[in-house]
Amino acid sequence: MNVGATVPIDPSVSIGHVHLKVADLERAIAFYQGVLGFEVTERWGKEAAFLSAGGYHHHIALNTWQSRGGAPPPHGATGLYHVAILYPTRAALGDALRRFLSAGVPLDGASDHGVSEALYLRDPDGNGVELYRDRPRVEWPRNPRACLPCQMARLPSTICLPNKLNQDSLMTAVAASTCDVCRRLTCRLETSLAGLYPLEID
């Protein structure tokens, strides 16, 4: 019986948390708490930790039960592509950008999906992490058939961001990309990233 094709899931359902296997618990906590700012809500010795934003029981769980000292999955393996962390406002996403650049965490890339703006990086275990904010629904682009095309405008990881960022230096870094896709999207991505990062890091 093909029930799934005719009965949609309850629209109030959401994804509540992600549980990651990590090689070094302290290193992972230092990233998710020390860099991104999540709070540790519970800890099970040296084996597991639970972190959240806003007092929730946990949004992120970390454990070393089967992975202590382990290596990331090899290229070409199946598994997690990335964890996506939703920020409530553009200002909050800009604060996240300042946090991880101040900590020396490299930016893998950035995307303007039309429906959202996203930043990409990796945690210490090599897991992809997307930090994003949704645009208001009234701003989501729709084609003439009222479908919602999620755009994949990607700022590639080949862009070298300067150590000291301000609007001019960030826009220069984006414009210097030799990627054809990036060139087509330079204006939009420059505006997005420069708007997220209006101040310099000293």
pLDDT in tens, 16-27: 999 999 999 999
For residue 76, is it within any domain?
no
pLDDT at 114: 83
Closest by CA position to 106, among listed 156, 167, 176, 181:
156
What pTM did the predictor assign? 0.76
For residue 114, the domain's CATH number is 3.30.720.110
119, 169: one domain: yes
Percent of the chain at pLDDT > 90 equals 52
Q: 84 pLDDT exceeds 90?
A: yes
Q: Does residue 122 or residue 174 have the better pLDDT?
A: 122
For residue 55, the domain's CATH number is 3.10.180.10
pLDDT at 160: 46
Instruction: Give CA angle at 190 (185, 192), nearest 5°.
Output: 100
Closest by CA position to 125, among listed 163, 79, 182, 59:
79
For residue 77, is it within any domain?
no
pLDDT at 149: 55
Q: 65 pLDDT exceeds 70?
A: yes
109, 197: one domain: yes
127, 49: one domain: no
Q: 151 pLDDT exceeds 50?
A: yes
Q: In what order do the strands lie in the sheet with 60-63?
A: 18-21, 60-63, 48-52, 39-44
Quote the CA–CA distance of 75 and 87 in Å, as a whole number: 29
169, 109: one domain: yes
45, 112: one domain: no
51, 119: one domain: no
Q: 169 pLDDT exceeds 60?
A: no
99 and 196 Cβ atoms separated by less than 8 Å = no
Q: 146 pLDDT exceeds 70?
A: no
53, 105: one domain: no
Q: 174 pLDDT exceeds 70?
A: no
The full 3-state SS of the chain, as one line of letters, equals CCCCCCCCCCCCCCCCCEEEECCCHHHHHHHHHHHCCCEEEEEECCCEEEEECCCCCCCEEEECCCCCCCCCCCCCCCCCCEEEEEECCHHHHHHHHHHHHHCCCCCCEEEECCCEEEEEEECCCCCEEEEEEECCHHHCCCCCCCCCCCCCEEECCCCCCCCCCCHHHHHHHHHCCCCHHHHHHHHHHHHHHHHHCCCCCC
96 and 87 Cβ atoms separated by less than 8 Å = yes
127, 157: one domain: yes
Give mean pLDDT, residues 103-126: 90
User: Which residue range forms the structural domain that includes residue 164?
Assistant: 82-141+150-202
Q: Does residue 170 or residue 73 have the better pLDDT?
A: 73
Q: 200 pLDDT exceeds 50?
A: no
Q: Does residue 43 or residue 199 have the better pLDDT?
A: 43
For residue 74, is it within any domain?
no
User: Count of domains in the chain?
Assistant: 2
